[in-house]
Amino acid sequence: MLNNTVTWLSLTQHAKQIKEASITSFFEAEEDRLSQFSIQHEGITYDASKVLMDKRALDLLLFLCEEAELEQWRDKMFAGEHINNTEDRAVLHTALRANPPRDEVENALAKMQRFCESTHKSGKYKDIVNIGIGGSDLGPRMVYHALKDQSKTGLNVHYVANIDGHDLKRVLGECTPETTLFIVASKTFTTIETLTNAHTAKNWITEKGLAVKDHFIALSTNMNAVNAFGIEAQNMFPFEEWVGGRFSLWSSIGLSLALGLGFEAFSQLLEGARNIDEHFKQAPLKENIPVLMGLTGLWHDTFLGFPALACLPYDQRLEYFPLYLQQLDMESNGKAVTKDGFTVSYPTGPVVFGQPGTNGQHAFYQHLHQSPMITPCEFIGVVNPDHPYTEHHKILLSNMIAQSQALMLGKRAPEDQPYRAFSGNRPSTTLLLPELTPYHLGQLIALYEHKTFVQGILWQINSFDQWGVELGKAMAKNLLAENNDADTIDPSTAHLKGLCKI
């Protein structure tokens, strides 16, 4: 076990000393700290120098990567070995953006492109409604909102995820049946939220005398279930089972993006991700951005014991990025059993939360600066905006940089006003993109995907299954069932069930 190695034990010991040290003292002691802890790649800058980690900790962590055979595991992932062992599946989202592509990927992309071109040409639709949840919603929703202002397709894309009828009702209220195309996005095509929403949407279309074939397409791996719903094979855009839900926006699941933003923008997104795949494969570990991101997270969670992570994009267009990252990180690494079936004895993935700056500053930053619980922060900034209001942008980014400075430096308070003290020494990283193009957004997403992978390897868990979502689903089904055995339900649950009229 990796956590019994001398390196792991040394890291545990070293973390005790580091907790007593200050980030500013590392800047004084390590002359080349900025270059050691920051990496530039293709216009992107990742700066981890304001982290509570010194050179020795970084060296030990890099050594741990070797002991964990990180590079070998990375190569196994890219080669399509079945590293998702509990589901006996390959993990090949990187193949969706590889060049040259595999045959099935090339065919799927060609079908998407043809559909986009004919849809744009026909002018038949004004609104596209993507019905999906989890990975079949969060990635596409996040990317669409980040880039929609640059789109010239004239199509308006909506996302419906929640089983809550208010979600669908609001979107249907904004659309007209004759000019609406529904995309039913579901890898399994068995997800209750998606199927319930899709059936209600189907009624909305057919009760106007319109045909399902003209208003519905499906993105799925499950041809039989798609057919049973009433969507024919030519209106289904398939992908392979080796595409995990939270890694699926690069597959047919991204069709709402190709339609809404244009196929060229979708291709650029894939290209940006491919660029990071190459960086991840080729850059030496200590010059490798996803590796440094992953090591920083591991150090915070496991060795320093910080249980949360604030994702703070200083760009309104990245409004949905923290929500997307919640699934990517928490569904991947919120686990307590190793790949070999042992219970872990150390903390794994953090609680991820956040919202765009500066809004977050007026909501939860009080906690970030003064709570006794320390939350590492990940700032994301875009250097060149896509609007003419220069003054806004200067204020925005100076706030972002000032927050990372304030978290690190803190401030003493007058003795009689202890409530004004900022302890400082709170770690943060900053990731800068030159601009928010499809290409750079593709890079950003792939960086986080690979960060998640790096951490999973070092925690020795399987980042690609999600058994933890099953129990609640099964119990909801049981509560809904007519013949459930009310006597076996605990008093609280039975009481709530009654009040909710289930």
Q: What residue ranges bind ligand F6P (CB under 6 A)?
A: 133-136, 186-188, 191, 194, 245-246, 331, 466, 469
Rounded Cα–Cα distance for residues 349 and 328 (Å): 11
- The sheet that has 216-220: what strands, in order across it? 156-160, 127-131, 180-185, 216-220, 236-238
Written as one letter, the residue type at 335 is K
Measured from the CB of residue 469, what is the shortest distance to ligand F6P in angstroms? 4
Which of 331, 335, 339, 450 is catalytic? The answer is: 331
What distance in Å separates the CA atoms of residue 238 and residue 107, rounded to the nearest whole number? 10
Closer residue to ligand F6P (CB): 246 or 369? 246
E strand residue ranges, 293-392: 308-314, 351-353, 377-384
- Please name the amino acid found at residue 238: P
Write down the catalytic residue from 82, 169, 473, 477: 473
SS3 340: coil
In the complex, the smallest distance separating the C-beta of residue 245 from ligand F6P, rounded to whole angstroms, is: 3
Would residue 66 show up in a list of annotated catalytic residues for this protein? no
CA torsion, ordered 183, 189, 190, 191, to nearest 10 deg: -40
Question: Which one, 244 or 381, has the nearer CB to ligand F6P?
Answer: 244
Structure tokens at 99: 């060049």
Q: In angstroms, what is the minimal distance from the CB of 382 to ligand F6P?
A: 27
Active site residue 215: no
Task: Evaluate the omega torsion of the peptide bond into residue 191 and state whether it is cis, within 30 degrees of 0.
Answer: no
Nearer to ligand F6P, 134 or 360 (CB): 134
**200 vs 358 by CB, closer to ligand F6P:** 200
Cβ–Cβ contacts within 10 Å for residue 3, how many? 19
User: Which of the residues 152, 362, 387, 501 is marked catalytic?
Assistant: 362
Q: Which is nearer to ligand F6P, 87 or 278 (CB)?
A: 87
Residue 89 or 246 having the CB closest to ligand F6P: 246
Is 331 noted as a catalytic residue in this protein?
A: yes
Task: Please report which helix (H) or strand (E) contains residue 110, including its range.
Answer: helix 103-122
Residue 183 to residues 134, 240, 323: CA-CA distances in angstroms? 15, 18, 21
- Minimal distance, residue 95 CB to ligand F6P, in Å: 18
Tokens representing residue 164 in the block: 């809550």
Cβ distance to ligand F6P smaller for residue 296 or 462? 462
Q: Among 220, 443, 480, 456, which Cα is nearest to 329's?
A: 456
Q: Which amino acid is at 162?
A: N
Give the strand pairing for 308-314 and 377-384. parallel
Q: How far apart are the first and last CA of the chain?
A: 48
Q: In whole angstroms, how close is the CB of 322 to ligand F6P at the nearest point?
A: 17
For residue 487, the number of C-alpha atoms closer than 13 Å in the C-beta half-sphere is 0
Separation CA 94–CA 101 (nearest Å): 10
Which tokens is 30 given? 């390590």
Q: Which residue has the tokens 């400082």?
A: 424
| Cα dihedral sign, 267-272-275-277 | negative
Q: Minimum distance between the CB of residue 403 and ligand F6P, rounded to whole angstroms?
A: 32
As measured in angstroms, the least distance from the Cβ of 400 to ligand F6P is 31
Structure tokens at 201: 């949407």
Q: Around Cβ 349, how many Cβ atoms within 10 Å?
A: 24
- Nearest CA to 453 out of 140, 139, 70, 96 is that of 70
Do 23 and 51 touch, CB atoms closer than 8 A? yes
Which residue number, 315 or 331, has a Cβ lying nearer to ligand F6P?
Answer: 331
Q: How far is CA 24 from CA 44, 259, 427, 495, 498, in A?
A: 24, 49, 11, 55, 58
Q: What does the alpha-carbon distance between residue 128 and residue 174 come to, in Å, rounded to a whole number?
A: 11
Tell me whether residue 248 or residue 268 sits nearer to ligand F6P (CB atom): 248
* Active-site residue list: 331, 362, 473
